[in-house]
Amino acid sequence: MATVTKRELTESAADWVETVGRRLPHFIGALLHGSILERSDDEPLSPFSDVDLIVLLDDAGPPAKPGKLRYRGALLDVTYLSWTSVQEPERVLAHYHLAPSFARPEILSDPTGQLERLHRAVAPAYTDRHWVWKRVLHARENALEKLKTLEKPAPIYDRVMAWAFAAGILCHIILVAALQNPTVRKRYAAVKRVLEAHGRQDVYQELLRLLGCHAISPGQVARHLDRMAAAFDVAQGVAKTPFPFSADISPLARPVSVDGSREMIERGEHREAVFWIVATYCRCLKILEADAPAELENHLGGFHELLSHLGVDGPQKLERRAAAVKEALPRMMEVAEILANAG
């Protein structure tokens, strides 16, 4: 697959907003979201990249996220948000996922000028120590909420997913403190760059140990990816029950979740690829449980082999690792404070 530039992807996204988005009832505006904001216009991007869009609607109950769609060669990932959820600058400034997109926005449509006014209110305060720390605390609370779900009985893949996301949010704590985008799939690669730039490789190694992938080999990760891909292909074909993540287990999402992970392995980021392989594997099994239970057993063996390599095979080991994530939070907050003060 050929590479594309940010400019090309942005032009496709803007055209979708103009021809489709603006026709939505109660349309307020639309803007780019996520890691694409950190790219230069002419920078070649991976063919496995998608473009995150936020569409604001003057609707207290906006439609469900339509998820991924292909438009003019670009893979768009569209999220609808209620305008009331972002119209107060203080709410945006304290939200660690939303604040970067409104602080340095690339607005695609703003017929009433409301997005530009919100940007002018958010941008000057975005780097203030007060708001940076508010966002760090928001990420910390998010991690604790994920860990709290482990207190309830649930299938193993739900529990693993909660633990993995809690561990992964520790990366976000560091990224947010360093004023970097809290990217989702590539969070470990992003936090590695930040920590190496500050001479804190020790912290990065701790993050890998908490996920259990510090000593895993490229061959092992490639094998786990192959097994996850097999579960993915079955799940995307049988999926009927709607889940918040349904768009990520679909034919359009396969190049990102499967091929994008393989690309990371091939360029030496096999440990950094593990997080999204785990998350996607869990989601596939949850879909199989709901919509093709007879298929579930066929894919549990590979999943348990992955858990074994990560050191979380068995309820007690998973609970101990989750406890280790919680115990690591104060150390990560200390590092975040150093980075926030340095900024």
Q: Which residues contact 343 (CB under 8 A, 6 or more apart)?
A: 127, 132, 177, 178, 179
The C-alpha atoms of residue 199 and residue 284 are separated, in whole angstroms, by 37
Q: pLDDT tens, 229-274?
A: 999 999 999 999 999 999 999 999 999 999 999 999 999 999 999 9
Q: Is the pLDDT of residue 2 over 80?
A: no
- How many other CB atoms are there within 10 angstroms of residue 315's CB atom? 11
**In which band, very low, low, confident or very high, does the pLDDT at 216 lie, cut at 50, 70 and 90?**
very high
Q: Is the pLDDT of residue 65 over 90?
A: no
Element (H, E) at 75: strand 74-82
Instruction: Identify whether the C-beta of residue 97 lies closer than 8 Å to the C-beta of residue 81.
Output: no
* Tokens representing residue 58 in the block: 């003057």
Q: pLDDT tens, 98-122?
A: 999 999 889 999 999 999 999 999 9
* Tokens representing residue 295 in the block: 């298929």
The C-alpha atoms of residue 45 and residue 20 are separated, in whole angstroms, by 25
State the average pLDDT over residues 57-69: 86
The C-alpha atoms of residue 170 and residue 311 are separated, in whole angstroms, by 19
- Which residue has tokens 């003057």? 58
Q: pLDDT tens, 115-141?
A: 999 999 999 999 999 999 999 999 999
Q: Which fold has domain 4-125?
A: Beta Polymerase; domain 2 (3.30.460)
55: alpha, beta or left, given left = phi > 0 and alpha = psi -120 to 50?
A: beta
Using CA atoms, how far residue 261 sits from 8, 79, 229, 280, 282, in Å, is 23, 23, 10, 11, 15
* Tokens representing residue 133 in the block: 């720390």
The C-alpha atoms of residue 196 and residue 183 are separated, in whole angstroms, by 17
User: Phi and psi of 80, rounded to 5°?
Assistant: -95, 130
314: alpha, beta or left, given left = phi > 0 and alpha = psi -120 to 50?
A: left
Quick one: what percent of the chain has pLDDT higher than 70?
Answer: 99
Instruction: Identify whether the C-beta of residue 75 lies closer than 8 Å to the C-beta of residue 255.
Output: yes
- On whether the pTM is more than 0.85, the answer is yes
Residue 1: predicted pLDDT: 55
For the chain, the structural domain boundaries read 4-125, 130-335
* Tokens representing residue 131 in the block: 């708001």
Q: Is the pLDDT of residue 343 over 80?
A: no
Q: Which residues contact 220 (CB under 8 A, 6 or more apart)?
A: 309
Q: pLDDT tens, 265-318?
A: 999 999 999 999 999 999 999 999 999 999 999 999 999 999 999 999 999 999
Cα 282 to chain center, whole Å?
Answer: 15
The DSSP code for 199 is T
